[in-house]
Structure 1
Amino acid sequence: MSCARNAILALMIVATPAQAAVAAPCLAPERPFLPQSREDMRRYADLLRADFETYIAEVQTYFRCLDEERARAFVEAREGHCQVV
């Protein structure tokens, strides 16, 4: 398979609407605060649970961003390699 064909296939695989926008760095979410006291943990359990559910969703978004950036960098490296070879 030629370099041009590889590059086109790779772009088709990784192209997403998010990549059409200006590339932004993938920022890891901040871990929610946890009280030191078990009593406070019990008292604020509902609030803490909601904070961690939000955190887990943000971590998943962060991982998707990293995957997209890895794919973009792979395409960029492949294109550079094809130009050199």
Structure 2
Amino acid sequence: MSDETIKGEVRNGERVAVAFPWFTGMAGVQQTDQGVQVAYFSRASAKAPGAGTVGGRPFEVLTAERSRTVEGAIVLTGKFVGEQA
């Protein structure tokens, strides 16, 4: 991940506070072609669709899955509420 700003809204690789009903803590955030990805380590299952906050901004979770490459990581894909995915 780089420090380059994408679309002026998300800095790839930035770590921010997130809060979802199933997880609260720090997570990595990056912009992709599929939307904003939020990644964190947790044993708990994530739920999609769902909602929470990312960096204090309302966030809609569209998909949630375990990482295929990093053991113990959860990857959420979604969008900030009121913005395009």
TM-score by length of 1: 0.21
Higher RCO structure (Cα 8 Å, ≥6 apart): 1
More strand by share: 2
TM-score by length of 2: 0.21
Structure 1 or 2, whichever has the larger Rg, is 1
More helix by share: 1
